[in-house]
Amino acid sequence: MHKILFPEANNKYIKTAATKLSEHGVCEPILDQCDIATASRKVANGEVDAMVAGIDSSSRDIILACRDQIGIAGQGSSKEKKTFSSLFVAALPDGRRYIISDGATCKNPTAEQLADIVALVNDAATKILNEPPLVAMLSFSTFGSGGKDPSMDRIAKAIELIHERRPEIIVDGEMQLDAAVNERIGEKKSPHNSKVAGHANVLITPDINSGNILYKSLEQFASAKLAGPILLGFNRPVSDLSRGSTAEDIVFTTECLVKLV
C-alpha cells in the first residue's frame, strides 16, 4: 500500500480524511507534523511515495519546496523539461468527470509551455480517468470563429508542437467550452469532424485566470466535487490542497493522487 505523507497532521480535516483513507484501504496515511521543506525531502528520499499538503500552507511555499527538494522531472537530461503544472479533477453530480488544467501554477503559458502542459496532463489523465483522454484547448473562439487573437495563435502553435512530439495524444482546438463538452454543439461548430469536440474530458485553459475561474465555478455553481490541485512535472506526486478543502475533498484528492504513484 502506498505511503502518503500529510505534513499538516494537526489539522482536523487532515485527521478525519486520514482515518477514512486508512479505513477504505486507499493508502497508508503518514501523519507527521513538519514544515513543507522537510516533508518534501522525505518524499524525495523515498521515505514516502507522495505528499498531500496545502490546507495550512501557501501554494508558493509548496511549489518552491517541490522545485528545490523534489526536483522537476527530466532536469539534467538531454530531454530536459522545465515546465511544471497542475490539474484538478471535477466530479459532477451526474457522474461526469473532467480534468482541468492549469488553474493553479502556470500563469500565462507560452505555446511551448502549453504543449508541455498538455503532455503532462494527458499522461496523468490516462491513469486517473477510466477512459482515454480527449483534450480540448479552450478559448473564447471555436476553430477560428473569433477572428485573430494572440491567444489563438499560441494554442495553434501548441497543438502543432504536440502533433510533432506526441502524435498519439488526441487534442484539438481552439474551442469554446460548450463546443468541447456538448455533443450537439460540438458537431455543429466543428468543421472537420473533430474527435474531441463535444466529447472532451480534459480541458486545457489558456491561462491561470480562466483555469481558476472554471474549476471554482464548477465547485460553487454546479456542486462538483474537486480533487487538487495535483502538481505535475515534479519527480514525485504532490498535491497542493486548496486552503478551503474539506475532509471529503482531501479524500478525493488522495484517491486521485495515488493513481499517479
pLDDT in tens, 7-37: 999 999 999 999 999 999 999 999 999 999 9
pLDDT tens figures, 214-252: 999 999 999 999 998 999 999 999 999 988 899 999 999
Q: What local confidence, expressed as pLDDT, does residue 78 receive?
A: 43
pLDDT higher than threshold 80 for residue 181: yes
User: What structural domains and CATH numbers belong to the chain?
Assistant: 1-71+234-261 (3.40.50.10950), 83-225 (3.40.50.10750)
At 258 the three-state DSSP class reads: helix
Percent above pLDDT 90 for the chain: 87
**Residue 75: its pLDDT value, please?**
55
Instruction: Name the average pLDDT for the chain.
Output: 93
pLDDT in tens, 115-156: 999 999 999 999 999 899 999 999 999 998 989 999 999 999
Q: How big is the CA angle at 246 (ends 200 and 70), to the nearest 5 degrees?
A: 70
Report field, pTM of the whole predicted structure over 0.85:
yes
